[in-house]
Amino acid sequence: MSAYDLAEADYLTRLTVRRLAELNATRARVEALEARASLAEEYEIERRKLELLQRLQDKYAGLSPIVVTDASLAIADLREHLQGVYDADLLSDPQLRALTMLHAVAFSARTLDRFSEPGRYALEGSAGVLELGASTLAMFSSRAGGGAAFTEAFAVPVLVKLLSPLYAPVVVVHIANAIGNLADDLDIRLALRSGGGIGALVRLLRPDCEASVQAAAAGALSLLAARDIVVQDSVRYLGGIDLVVDLLVTADAYTAEAARYCLLSLRRGNTKNQAETIAAIRANSNVVRNVRRVDPELLRFEEGTPRVRSSYAPPSPPALGYGYGTPTKALARPTTADSYRRTAAALDSMTGALARSLSPGRYRSPLAAAISATASPAATALRGSLEAELARAASPVRSSLRASTLAARYSPPPASSALALAEPEAALGVMPEVDSDLLKRKHLIRYTAEELATLLQEMGFDKLDLRSFKLHAVAGVDLLDMSEDEMVVRLLLPRHKVRKLRALQRAVALFDRIATLPRQGRLSEVELRLFLAAQGCGSAEVDKVVRLFRSLVRTDKLDFVTFWDFVCAYDWIAQAFRIYAIPA
């Protein structure tokens, strides 16, 4: 290309760039003008609206507010719904009664939601509507089929919304009573748990609320906790146990009684709540000064006293000794004498379990491990002498077991046993007396069926759970060799109770690892320190673990810790060992 062509091409390129820049500037100016025009239009529309509102305000400023009329209409409509429910009750039509109740509950919930708004609550007439609506919901909650009506009407969020000290006490009391009446319904409990109802009830237990509100909240929590273990744990997580303990010694007797019922429900079958309740009672100076007003049942977990019958427990019918009105599968089993006797296979399995329990291999204490690991002639002689002594100790036990079984098989049952077999319910309902001090110093393998039932009752098992143990005469040695499936099938226990028994087996195994001798009933501090040293802990860590162990388990200067206290506090011990990476 020539120089002229290159110059022309360069000129056209610069001219094109200049034209594009001018077009871009022109487009930007057009867009700015369009945006300004749209803003002007919006401004004009808003100005016209404001002018219209100003003219309407000037024209209708002299009229009276319609709030009173709105409240009157709401009360009139609510009365019409109540009249419809009353007419359905007179006609005795179940479908019409359920339909009218559903409409009344739905209308009451919508009315309460509308009048409980912050902007409307302080207006004239709203307080009367709230009180009438709350009392209406409390009334319908106690009727048959009320839970289904509240669930279909989606009334639970409204109930949780009104559980606030900002509203009148009479409204809050009615709402809390309604929640307590609906505690049997599972859907209501799930909605309360997911919607913050438990936290709202715990908030009402604080000292800034009135006594009637505190009593209603404690009563609602009592009914919910008696039927849902998740509610029990939620109240503990939210700090509700300390608040309920404060109410035990309040001046209002009704509130104190409601608090007592609430604590009894929170601690039922929940060992962590039992420990939290006892700690809260001990830490509360007002309760300590008025300790006579505290129900002994609230202190049963730590003191180890037998179960005290309080007014909270329902009276048991005379036909059954367990407090349950219907028989279970355990009572449907054969009640002949042969069904209560052990077979030869059962005897062999029991004898083998006892032999395994007496062998040193089952109890791997630090001393036994050291003897087994040593290959010197002295250690071999010592190990041989120990095995010989254990064999001599196990031989009479096997002979006595087989002799007693054969005697029971080929001899007629005595009159007392026949009476017990003829009336198993009455026989199983009586808990024999045991020596608590001696029982605490016994190993589980030495426990009889009655002593094992006492230990399980201390661990939270009720009489219905213990029925299968007594029916099959399950002793401590039998429980140690039971599998999880056998606990479910043979003992008819739910899964959460089976997990407790498995934890008991792990507690016995840990106790035997720490112990020096097999089947000993107590541990000393020296044995615990030797075990911790064998696990690789240093002297400083051993001191820390021992101090933590003393704070978690009841100890004394003589025995340090008994087998009973060790297995009852196994959950705390295992957690403490996990903190220091000690296998539990």
What is d(CA 349, CA 7) in angstroms, rounded to the nearest whole number? 111
pLDDT at residue 181 is higher than 70: yes
Confidence of residue 321 (pLDDT cuts 50, 70, 90): very low
Confidence of residue 559 (pLDDT cuts 50, 70, 90): low
| The CATH number of domain 437-580 is 1.10.150.50 | yes
Burial 75-92 (b: 16+ CB within 10 A, else e): beebeebbebbeebeeee
Structure-block tokens of residue 509: 């195994």
What stretch of H or E contains 22? Answer: helix 3-60
What average pLDDT score do residues 400-404 get?
47
Confidence of residue 64 (pLDDT cuts 50, 70, 90): low
Structure-block tokens of residue 208: 């800034």
Confidence of residue 468 (pLDDT cuts 50, 70, 90): confident
pLDDT at residue 216 is higher than 90: yes
What average pLDDT score do residues 567-571 get?
88
pLDDT at residue 21 is higher than 60: yes
What confidence score (pLDDT) does residue 494 get? 83
Task: Compute, in degrees rounded to 10, the torsion defined by CA atoms 426, 467, 490, 472.
Answer: -50
pLDDT at residue 401 is higher than 90: no
Confidence of residue 175 (pLDDT cuts 50, 70, 90): very high
| In the chain, where the domains are located | 1-63, 71-303, 437-580
Nearest to 249 by CA among 224, 276, 204, 280: 280
Residue 523 bridge partners (DSSP): 561
Nearest to 281 by CA among 292, 291, 273, 272: 291
- Of 148-162, 175-189, 339-353, which gets the smallest average pLDDT? 339-353
What confidence score (pLDDT) does residue 380 get? 55
Residue 549 bridge partners (DSSP): none
Confidence of residue 63 (pLDDT cuts 50, 70, 90): low
Q: Is there a contact between 441 and 562 (Cβ–Cβ < 8 Å)?
A: yes
pLDDT digits (tens, 9 = 90+) for 73-88: 888 888 888 888 888 8
What confidence score (pLDDT) does residue 220 get? 92
Q: Where do we find the tokens 């057009």?
A: 30
Of all residues in the chain, the percent with pLDDT exceeding 90 is 9
DSSP string, 332-391: GS--SSGGGSPPHHHHHHHHHHHHHHHSGGG---HHHHHHHH--SHHHHHHHHHHHHHHH
CATH number of the domain at 71-303, please? 1.25.10.10
Nearest to 207 by CA among 198, 221, 217: 217
pTM passes above 0.75: no
Q: Exposed (0-12), middle (13-18) or buried (19+): which is 143, by Cβ within 10 Å?
A: middle
Nearest to 355 by CA among 474, 480, 448, 449: 480
pLDDT at residue 533 is higher than 50: yes
* Mean pLDDT for the chain overall: 75
Task: Compute, in degrees rounded to 10, the torsion defined by CA atoms 309, 311, 312, 313.
Answer: 50
pLDDT digits (tens, 9 = 90+) for 380-397: 554 565 455 545 544 554
Confidence of residue 548 (pLDDT cuts 50, 70, 90): confident
pLDDT digits (tens, 9 = 90+) for 23-47: 988 999 999 899 888 888 888 888 8
pLDDT at residue 193 is higher than 60: yes
What average pLDDT score do residues 312-326 get?
36
What average pLDDT score do residues 143-154 get?
86
What average pLDDT score do residues 88-97 get?
83
pLDDT at residue 131 is higher than 70: yes
What confidence score (pLDDT) does residue 215 get? 92
Residue 522 bridge partners (DSSP): 562
| 314 compared with 95, residue with greater pLDDT | 95
What confidence score (pLDDT) does residue 349 get? 46
Q: Residues, the chain, total?
A: 584
| 217 compared with 359, residue with greater pLDDT | 217
Q: How many CB atoms lie within 10 A of CB 239?
A: 12
